[in-house]
């Protein structure tokens, strides 16, 4: 009787294990939710999009005492009219031209560690402002481009199929100014090598002094500074999201908490998220989303 009971218990145990494994089978697309550096939120309601569009990131390096920089801003605005949502930008304020206290009215400090890190690594300030990078891609003459060359190089890649789709969901608690941002990187084609996700916060439409050599006088008191890079939510160089091979139809979700600075206008703040190759730093895809819709 004892052995018979043990046999019955064994059969029940095996049946239970088989049942559990059967219930755990998951069909694609597969989701990798890496919990390192993330919040505890579980976000699954990202939109499904069958139209995959290449979106380009233009990093426009500037400074409020750079009298030639407003021309570069005009160049971006012209390109934005053409490419609309396919073109995303932010403006790191870097170097001497971003200094405060040199001239009496130039007291607003747009500088931050992330902007300086990027400029120091790629050499933007040393190359002379204004300048920019398009997807951190070398088009044959180096990564750093004068604004007069932005349009021609943009045309070379704007219609190429993307390897990744990026979706962003933001949750904002107005009472404590706490942001939870959720980023989905949907792999469309197999990608080899290490890929990083960088998540930045930008603020638009800040009015303060700007030098403009095309104006008389050349000190503009209420110049509207657009797309100012404020901070990196997960560090300047972001978080590794894949290494080896990232397979097509894989969805990688990362979530982050962030405390919004009380001096920033939350209604003008957006999240910019992009995935790039770690070895070349070339950006594969970018997404942008207002924190307050």
Question: pLDDT tens digits, residue range 13-25?
Answer: 444 433 333 333 2
Residues 5-9: what's their mean pLDDT?
Answer: 44
Inside any domain, residue 239: yes
Nearest-angstrom CA–CA distance, 199 and 38: 12
Nearest to 185 by CA among 204, 162, 215: 162
The predicted model scores a pTM of: 0.86
Inside any domain, residue 4: no
Inside any domain, residue 20: no
* Phi, psi (deg, nearest 5) at residue 157: -125, -10
Could you report the per-residue pLDDT of 204-254, keeping only the tens digit for each? 999 999 999 999 999 999 999 999 999 999 999 999 999 999 999 999 999
Inside any domain, residue 21: no
Could you report the per-residue pLDDT of 63-121, keeping only the tens digit for each? 999 999 999 999 999 999 999 999 999 999 999 999 999 999 999 999 999 999 999 99
Nearest-angstrom CA–CA distance, 80 and 107: 30
- pLDDT over 50 at 284, yes or no: yes
Inside any domain, residue 13: no
Residue 208 CA, distance from chain mean position: 25
Q: Could you count the other beta carbons within 10 Å of the beta carbon of residue 42?
A: 11
Of residues 59 and 42, more confidently modeled: 59
Which residues form the domain of 130?
A: 27-290
Inside any domain, residue 179: yes
Residues 30-36: what's their mean pLDDT?
Answer: 39
Instruction: Tell me how many domains the chain contains.
Output: 1
* Phi, psi (deg, nearest 5) at residue 174: -65, -30
Inside any domain, residue 16: no
Contacts (Cβ under 8 Å, ≥6 apart) of 37:
234, 239, 254, 256
**Do residues 187 and 248 touch, judged by C-beta distance below 8 A?**
yes
Could you report the per-residue pLDDT of 166-204, keeping only the tens digit for each? 999 999 999 999 999 999 999 999 999 999 999 999 999
Here the CATH number for the domain that contains residue 155 is: 2.60.40.10
pLDDT (0 to 100) of residue 41: 53
Tally the residues of the chain. Answer: 293
Inside any domain, residue 196: yes
Q: How confident is the model at residue 28 (pLDDT cuts 50, 70, 90)?
A: very low
Q: Take residue 34 and report the two structure tokens written for it.
A: 């890496």
pLDDT (0 to 100) of residue 7: 42
Beta strand pairing status for 30-32 and 250-259? parallel
Could you report the per-residue pLDDT of 106-153, keeping only the tens digit for each? 999 999 999 999 999 999 999 999 999 999 999 999 999 999 999 999
pLDDT (0 to 100) of residue 243: 96
For residue 29, whether the previous peptide bond is cis, meaning omega lies within 30 degrees of 0, is yes
């Amino acid at each position: 009787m004892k052995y018979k009971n043990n046999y019955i218990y064994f059969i029940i145990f095996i049946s239970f294990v088989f049942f559990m494994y059967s219930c755990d089978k998951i069909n694609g697309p597969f989701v990798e939710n890496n919990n390192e550096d993330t919040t505890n939120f579980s976000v699954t309601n990202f939109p499904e999009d069958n139209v995959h569009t290449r979106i380009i990131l233009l990093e426009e390096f500037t400074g409020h005492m750079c009298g030639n920089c407003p021309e570069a801003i005009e160049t971006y605005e012209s390109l934005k009219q053409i490419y609309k949502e396919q073109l995303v930008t932010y403006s790191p304020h870097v170097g001497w031209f971003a200094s405060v206290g040199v001239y009496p009215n130039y007291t607003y400090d747009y500088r931050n560690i992330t902007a300086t890190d990027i400029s120091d690594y790629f050499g933007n300030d040393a190359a002379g402002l204004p300048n920019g990078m398009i997807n951190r891609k070398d088009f044959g003459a180096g990564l750093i481009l004068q604004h007069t060359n932005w349009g021609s190089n943009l045309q070379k890649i704007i219609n190429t199929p993307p390897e990744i789709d990026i979706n962003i969901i933001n949750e904002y608690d107005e009472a404590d100014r706490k942001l939870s941002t959720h980023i989905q990187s949907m792999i469309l084609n197999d990608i080899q090598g290490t890929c990083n996700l960088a998540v930045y916060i930008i603020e638009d439409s800040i009015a303060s002094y700007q030098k403009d050599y095309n104006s008389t006088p050349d000190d503009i008191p209420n110049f509207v500074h657009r797309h100012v890079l404020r901070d990196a939510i997960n560090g300047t160089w972001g978080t590794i999201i894949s290494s080896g091979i990232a397979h097509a139809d894989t969805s990688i979700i990362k979530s982050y908490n962030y405390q919004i600075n009380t001096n920033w206008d939350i209604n003008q703040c957006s999240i910019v998220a992009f995935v790039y190759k770690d070895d070349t730093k070339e950006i594969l895809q970018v997404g942008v989303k207002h924190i307050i819709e």
